Amino acid sequence: MPTGIDRYEVQRLVREEGAQLVEVLPRRSFEALHLPGAVSIPLKRLDMVATSVLDRTRPVIVYCYDYT
Amino acid sequence: MSPRAAWRLEALGFSHVYDYLAGKKDWLAAGLTTEGKRAGQVRAGHLSRPDPPTCRPDERVGDVRRRLGSDGWDACIVVNDHDVVEGRIRPSDLADVDGETLVEEVMELGPTSIRPDAGLESIVKRVRNANVASILVTSSSGELLGVLYREDAERHLDE
């Protein structure tokens, strides 16, 4: 079950565990502004091929714009 | 959207999946570093003056009055132990107030604040309409980050 986290935990996971950030918003939103080091995998394209850029041994943090 | 993505990743075999629920909006509101085409745009947080004078609600007005007279600040921001804004004290609030009075008895409650990612043009319009010289900049959690002065924002837009 995915774990909900806040930004402090995001920062800790990236810093201490090498977590990978994945923005799932449309590509245009990612190109305008995204978290440092994040990769873009829009929700509509979230499949085995698109996720092959991720390291399965490290934590993955997904995010969109807000709670909606 | 991100909860669905997190579940989807687990279904694809990823075992350590986290969901930053508050997302990009929260990150921007905290004034944290970003990347992308719009990352270099000057926003409220970039021009806000850091480290304004602060005080606690249980301090005496006499002590705060002395602090207010320094470095040209027009207000002392009342914060709690977590730096969350509770109120504001302006010199005019302290006229004829006894020095032993507690700050919480005379402070302005809930002053308006903006997030550091707010665009300058919209903020300048807002402070002009409100006819105020400055506005607080806080994180989405309410922590004080600084004070944006209208003159600073207007100067930047004129350049």
The separation between CA B81 and the C-alpha centre of its own chain, rounded to angstroms, equals: 16
CA distance, residue A30 to nearest chain B CA (Å): 7
Tally of CA atoms within 13 A in the half-sphere of A19 that contains its CB: 25
B82 is written with which tokens?
């977590």
Which burial class, exposed, middle or buried, applies to B131 when counting CB atoms under 10 A from its CB (0-12, 13-18, 19+)?
Answer: exposed
Cβ-Cβ contacts under 8 Å between A and B: the total is 135
Entry pTM: 0.69
pLDDT of residue A12: 98
Residues B6, A60: Cα–Cα separation, whole Å: 9
B28–A contact, CB cutoff 8 A: yes
Strand partners, B55: B78
**In A, residues 6-35, which contact B (CB 8 Å cutoff)?**
6-7, 9-10, 13, 19, 22-25, 29-35
Contacts of B107 (CB under 8 A, 6+ apart): B57, B78, B86, B87, B88, B89, B93
Contacts of A50 (CB under 8 A, 6+ apart): A41
Residues B67, A19: Cα–Cα separation, whole Å: 44
Residues B20, B27: Cα–Cα separation, whole Å: 10
pLDDT of residue A68: 62
Contact A34 B8 (CB under 8 A): no
pLDDT of residue B31: 78
Residue A24 and residue B19 in contact, taking contact as beta carbons nearer than 8 Å: no
pLDDT of residue A57: 94
pLDDT of residue B70: 64
Candidates B16, B43, B140: best to mutate against A (most CBs of A within 10 A) is B16
pLDDT of residue B149: 94
The amino acid sitting at B43 is R
- Residues of A whose CB is below 8 A from B35: 33-38
Q: Is the pLDDT of residue A65 over 80?
A: yes
What tens digit of pLDDT does each residue of A25-61 get? Answer: 999 999 999 999 999 999 999 999 999 999 999 999 9
Residue with tokens 């006819």: B131
Helix, strand, coil distribution of chain A in percent, nearest 5? 35, 20, 45
Scanning every residue of chain A, which has its alpha carbon at the shortest distance from the alpha carbon of B37?
A32
For chain B, 159 residues long, give each residue's pLDDT as a single digit of tens: 888 999 999 999 999 999 999 999 888 878 788 999 988 788 898 899 988 999 999 999 998 988 776 667 889 999 999 999 999 999 888 888 999 999 999 999 999 999 888 889 999 999 999 999 999 999 878 899 999 999 999 999 988
Contact A24 B10 (CB under 8 A): no
Contact B20 A33 (CB under 8 A): no
